[in-house]
Copies of this chain bind each other. A is one copy, B any other.
Amino acid sequence: MLEKVVILAAVSVLAILEQAYFSFQVIYARRKYSVSPPSTDGPPEFQRIYRAQMNCSEYFPIFITVLWTAGLFFSQGLSSVFGLLYLYGRFLYFRGYSQSSQRRLAPLYFCSKVLWALLSFSTLGILSSFCRFYLNLDVLQQLRSALRLVA
């Protein structure tokens, strides 16, 4: 069983390390721009770094959920590849947003597309599992047989 989720777990651990990196960046920015907790107000440079980290944190549980549902019900390998793409996109997003609000956009759209792909994998995998468990119909198997008949 663990064999089917070990790569997902590895990507999840990587995601946590990335979040830790973002948190450290906020701590450095707090020192650099003299913004002491509990305040989160400061110059735009600080605000951007703080918002970048907040946005990544906000999407972290969504990413983990969709990574695991896609991995469990569709394909561990494909989900993990898209998971790595997402983490890379988030890194570019954080770096871009630290520089200017404009530069966050391209990586943000990229991350969003990767999330939609993972969500599609999840949906396909779950629907196909529903058919298998409740309608006793293996859609993927049927598709393969149909293709063989055609060939």
Which residues of A come within 8 Å of B, CB atoms? 1-3, 5-6, 9-10, 12-13, 15-17, 19, 36-40, 44, 47-48, 50-52, 54, 57-58, 60-62, 64-66, 69, 72-73, 97, 101, 104, 119, 122-123, 126, 129-130, 133
Contact = CB atoms under 8 A, between A and B. Distances in A.
Nearest to A118: B16
Contact of A66 (B13, B37, B57): B13
A62 B18 CA distance: 11
A61 to B, nearest CB: 4
Contact of A51 (B15, B38, B54, B62): B38
Max count, chain B CB within 10 A of own CB: residue among A13, A47, A129: A13
A56 to B, nearest CB: 10
A47 B57 contact: no
A37 B69 contact: no
Contact of A37 (B2, B51, B119): B51
**Which 4 residue pairs spanning A and B have beta carbons closest together?**
A38-B51, A61-B61, A38-B47, A9-B69
